[in-house]
């Protein structure tokens, strides 16, 4: 237990770095640019936002799922000589890990200016990972895919049905996740679903994708890119934007975890988010009650319910009621996924949620929560994951 | 995109005995020689005591429904052909922490394709059967048994 009792080193990390730039491309279907070009656009936009030059960049973070290698991005944009590059694994679980690793490198004095980007062209049907399943499966998916749990939505549907049965959560309650986020997207001109309303009747009439989950419980299939720029907090004040401090960071993986088809631990409803949350709050100067806005990874709407509970905003089994009572709306206790999120803004493996978490601290969201001191952003509940707690300087 | 049913590789020495037992219609899982703990899916070492020594323990095949899902289109072509189908996560009677995925099957071993299978609910009792999908692959499937639900 030595490692656990000694884990009090957060003072070395807390508030030492800041997100000083954010950038994004337009979002859409079948965008003509390559993923590399979209990535360049997002990074250049984030550097412009920060008031930093490409040659200032000496650290890069990305997802292991990113198809563009760091050197291609670096030589297309003209980064300086790089001192740190790290990739974060597990797809939807990766965004906060990618940002957190670069923040750690900067806080430790290894690098000065870091960029983290995610670029993705996902709108074509042949780009979906599940469509590339091979005739013989040799990894852990051999225990579920041959029975027809092939897509991520199928894997989440299994957990969602158990959760809904155990806690008597109705489809009408679950609908509120998608409806609240669509309303946020309707306020956000950049959101893919900006112009499209969604009603309860539409939700309840929608076709099932993996029962009990319907079309609107699934994230968008879109193209786009986003990026953030980080540097040391003591340098951030010289820059163009109000700095957003990286207050706390953790990754998390339960014992006996199995990616996506996470069915073999002691309690499959106690996900890796519980691990991440405990270590995040251990470091933080506040608990859940000090947080007034959150971005929860939402490739599938039940993940929002699971995360509300895992991060301590609702008791176990009560998130359905919380959302049904408007708890995640702009007037609610905890506005959630205020740009529209993966369900209604854009699906970029959750990296757009990091950008929105920054906007909420800056005061520039299209669904701005007042007086944000702490802004939480998390990653996928079904995979090994991570979270960042951001803070107003 | 593949046209065939995606099947498990059976060549990994760590889990080959599972697939060999399945061909004999037996549900076999690893049991640690050192601490006696059962584990699934198969792996090299016991996560409780780190022992590499284990043997294969044949389960009764009696279980209950922990949860289930019903995938709908769009699916891989092999699953489009059999949809709608049901995927059950079964919890073993011998150890509730051992859970195994399989399709819901009828008494005759064919997959259930009714839209609302009678008796399918969380906690409903099940027994295992095996569906031969290739010379080296018999996939475990689950049949709803007639006895009253035991809860979960």
pLDDT of residue B147: 58
**Reported confidence tier of residue A3, pLDDT bands at 50, 70, 90:** very low
Please name the member of A133, A162, A207 whose beta carbon is closest to the beta carbon of B67. Answer: A162
Residues in chain B with CB shorter than 8 Å from the CB of A126 are 1
- Token duo for residue A222: 């879109």
Write out the two tokens for A123. 């709108």
pLDDT digits (tens, 9 = 90+) for A278-310: 999 999 999 999 999 999 999 999 999 999 999
pLDDT above 90 coverage of chain B, percent: 87
- Topology classification of domain A17-123+224-233: Peroxisomal Thiolase; Chain A, domain 1 (3.40.47)
pLDDT value, residue A8: 52
pLDDT at B151: 44
Domain range annotation of chain A? 17-123+224-233
Q: Which tokens belong to A126?
A: 């042949």
Q: What is the pLDDT of residue B115?
A: 79
Q: Write down the pLDDT at residue A51.
A: 98
Which CA distances in Å does B108 have to B63, B111, B131? 18, 9, 10
Interchain proximity A135–B4, CB inside 8 Å: yes
For residue A21, give the nearest of A359, A336, A297, A350 by alpha carbon.
Answer: A359
Strand-pair partners of B110:
none
Which residue in chain A is spatially nearest to B77 when comparing CA positions?
A: A131
The residues with which B68 forms a beta bridge, in sequence order, are B88
- Asked if the model's pLDDT at residue A106 lies above 60, the reply is yes
- Interchain pair A138, B12: CB under 8 A: yes
* pLDDT at res. A92: 97
Interface test with A, best of B50, B67, B81, B120 (most A CBs within 10 A): B67
Q: Which of A27, A163, A203, A347 is catalytic?
A: A347
- Catalytic pick from A27, A216, A297, A311? A297
Q: Choose among B141, B60, B59: nearest CA to B101.
A: B141
C-alpha closest to that of A354 among A102, A36, A54: A102
Q: What is the 3-state secondary structure (H, E, C) of chain B?
A: CCCCCCEECCCCCCCHHHHHHHHCCCCEEEEECCCCCEECCCCCCCCCCCCCCEEEEECCCEEEEEEEEEECCCCCHHHHHHCCCCEEEEEECCCCCCEEEEEEECCCCCECCCCCCCCCCCCCEEEEEEEEEECCEEEEEEEECCCCCCCC
Cα A51 → chain centroid:
25
pLDDT tens, residue by residue, A340-361: 999 999 999 999 999 999 999 9
The answer to whether the Cβ–Cβ distance between B139 and A255 falls below 8 Å is: no
Q: What percent of chain A has pLDDT over 70?
A: 97
Which sign does the torsion angle of CA B70, B74, B75, B79 carry? positive
Q: Which of A127, A147, A150, A262 to mutate to test the interface with B (most CBs of B within 10 A)?
A: A147
| Alpha-carbon span A114 to A236, nearest angstrom | 12
Per-residue pLDDT for A73 more than 80?
yes
Catalytic residue list contains A297: yes
HSE (side-chain half, CA atoms, 13 Å) at A322: 22
């Amino acid at each position: 237990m030595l490692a656990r009792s000694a884990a009090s080193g957060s003072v070395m990390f807390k508030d030492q770095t800041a997100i000083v730039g954010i950038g994004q491309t337009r979002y859409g279907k079948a965008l003509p640019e390559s993923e590399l070009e979209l990535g360049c656009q997002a990074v250049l936009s984030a550097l412009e936002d920060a008031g930093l030059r490409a040659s200032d960049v000496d650290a890069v973070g990305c997802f292991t799922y990113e198809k563009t290698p760091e050197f291609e991005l670096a030589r297309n944009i003209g980064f300086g000589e790089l001192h740190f590059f790290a990739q974060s694994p597990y797809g939807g679980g990766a965004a906060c890990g990618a940002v957190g690793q670069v923040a750690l490198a900067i806080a430790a004095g290894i690098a000065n200016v870091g960029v983290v980007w995610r670029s993705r062209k996902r709108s074509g049907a042949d780009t979906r990972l599940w469509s590339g399943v091979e005739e013989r499966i040799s990894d852990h998916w051999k225990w579920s895919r041959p029975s027809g749990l092939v897509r991520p939505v199928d894997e989440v549907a299994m957990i969602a049905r158990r959760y809904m049965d155990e806690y008597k959560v109705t489809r009408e309650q679950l609908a509120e996740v998608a409806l609240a986020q669509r309303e946020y997207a309707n306020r956000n001109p950049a959101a893919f679903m900006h112009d499209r309303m969604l009603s309860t009747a539409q939700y309840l009439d929608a076709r099932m994708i993996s029962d009990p989950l319907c079309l609107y419980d699934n994230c968008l299939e879109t193209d786009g890119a986003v990026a953030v720029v980080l540097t040391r907090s003591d340098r951030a004040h010289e820059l163009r934007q109000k700095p957003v401090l990286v207050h706390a960071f953790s990754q998390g993986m339960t014992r006996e975890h199995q990616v996506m088809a996470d069915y073999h631990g002691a309690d499959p409803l106690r996900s890796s988010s519980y691990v991440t949350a405990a270590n995040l709050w251990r470091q933080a100067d506040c608990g859940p009650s000090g947080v007034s806005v959150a971005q929860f990874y939402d490739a599938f709407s039940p993940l929002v319910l699971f995360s509300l509970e895992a991060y301590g905003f609702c008791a176990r089994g009560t998130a359905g009621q919380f959302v049904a009572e408007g708890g995640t709306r702009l007037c609610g206790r905890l506005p959630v996924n205020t740009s529209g999120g993966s369900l209604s803004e854009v699906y970029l493996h959750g990296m757009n949620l990091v950008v929105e978490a920054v906007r909420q601290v800056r005061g520039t969201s299209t669904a701005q929560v007042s007086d944000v001191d702490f802004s939480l952003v998390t990653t996928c509940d079904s995979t090994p994951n991570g979270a960042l707690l951001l803070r107003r300087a | 995109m593949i046209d065939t049913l995606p099947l498990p590789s059976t060549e990994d020495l760590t889990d080959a005995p599972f697939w060999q037992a399945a061909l004999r219609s037996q549900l076999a899982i690893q049991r640690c020689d050192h601490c006696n703990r059962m584990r699934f899916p198969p792996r090299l070492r016991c996560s409780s005591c780190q022992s590499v020594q284990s043997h294969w323990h044949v389960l009764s095949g009696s279980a209950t429904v922990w949860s289930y899902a019903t995938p709908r289109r769009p699916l891989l072509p092999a699953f489009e052909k059999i949809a709608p189908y049901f995927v059950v996560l079964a919890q073993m009677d011998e150890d509730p922490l051992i859970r195994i995925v399989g399709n819901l099957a009828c008494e005759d071993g064919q997959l259930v394709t009714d839209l609302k299978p009678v008796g399918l609910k969380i906690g409903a009792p099940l027994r295992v059967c095996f569906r031969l999908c290739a010379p080296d692959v018999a996939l475990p499937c689950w049949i709803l048994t007639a006895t009253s639900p035991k809860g979960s």
